[in-house]
Amino acid sequence: MHRRDCILGGGAALLAQLLPRRFALAQSKYPVRPIRLIVPYAPGGVVDAVARNWAERMKAPLGTVIIENQGGGGGTIGASTVAHAAFDGYTLLFGDTSSQIIAPHLMLDPPYDTTKDFVPISMIATSSTAIVVHPSVPVKTLGEFVKYAVSHQKTLSYASAGAGTVTHLAGEMFKQLTNTPDILHVPYRGAGPGLVDLMANVVPMMTPNVTGQVLNFHRSGDIRILAVCAPARLKAASEIPAAVETLPGMVAELTCGVLAPTRTPQPVIAQISEATATVMKQPDFELALRAAGLEIRPDANPVEAQAFLASERQRLIPIIMAAGLQPQ
């Protein structure tokens, strides 16, 4: 063997020995540059608001988190970016019930497999939907509205934030539980336009996510929230009944949190999870969520987050199928 070949061969061997050590050192220093957080919706929505709150509070434990909004496809466009990104912890997804369960199920050829392409890190917040009517509808309680809906279903319609959204599923769930299949679904391009038409009495009923704005409209008398579709009354509005008090099983919520591409190093996952858990224990963080109509999640670790998403898939997909929503 030539001397030059020996030198090259020895150098390659030394490099092979050093690379794992250098990789481990780099991982132990994570993060060493800004983290890119993909929010798969336009700015200003529920998921975007929670993501920005989380990102701001990550500055101390993790450094700069840069939010990039990639809306479209019920969250699948932005989620696809993360599914196919490098698994180094520098590209994360702020996903939700739609991007991880509903939207991919309604696609013939989804751009990712939610059970194989992502590792959940932490579920952070839940936004309940609600059963809301225009004040002119002659009911005060959900029980009264159920009776009204049964007798008026052929002329009754409800607004949602869009086909295939959690708000759409809430309306279809109401129809299934009350045996009112003739209520017409009117999908809008987001909750805002639907709320405008609800307040104008263009549509008499809506199933929006509960936000601070929706609560303000309710308290001012512009709309009437009959019940929240959560397992229990919301801390932000304990005076409003939970739908399950009248309709057992009427739970339709949007839950959001942080996910990473599969194969992201476990130490990185653990570091982000621990930082998130610390932030979620801060009283002002929970108060900020509550003011926006959200409830903080208890699933602040990867194992519980994965179990939660699996249970939601098992619960929601049969509802999607019963509603007759077909993949497109």
What domains lie within the chain, and their CATH numbers? 34-126+254-322 (3.40.190.150), 130-245 (3.40.190.10)
DSSP 3-state of 41: coil
- pTM (two decimals): 0.82
Residue 15 has pLDDT above 60, yes or no: no
Over residues 179-228, the pLDDT tens digits come to: 999 999 999 888 889 999 999 999 999 999 998 899 999 999 999 999 99
State percent of the chain over pLDDT 90: 71
What confidence tens digit (pLDDT) does each residue in 252-309 have? Answer: 999 999 999 999 999 999 999 999 999 999 999 999 998 888 999 877 789 999 999 9
Q: Where are the alpha helices (DSSP H) in 45-184?
A: 46-57, 59-62, 76-83, 97, 103-105, 142-152, 166-178
* Mean pLDDT calculated for residue range 171-184: 96
pLDDT in the model for residue 28: 61
CA distance 166 to 161: 8
Q: Residue 116, class by beta-carbon neighbours within 10 Å (0-12 exposed, 13-18 middle, 19+ buried)? A: exposed
Classify 129 as helix, strand or coil.
Answer: strand
CA atoms within 13 A on the CB side of 68: 15
Do 88 and 271 meet the contact criterion of CB atoms below 8 Å apart? no
- As a whole number of angstroms, the distance between CA 95 and CA 230 comes to 20
Whole-number mean pLDDT of the chain?
Answer: 89
Say how far apart CA 31 and CA 88 lie, in whole Å. Answer: 10
**Residue 326 confidence (pLDDT):** 75
More confident residue, 45 or 49: 49
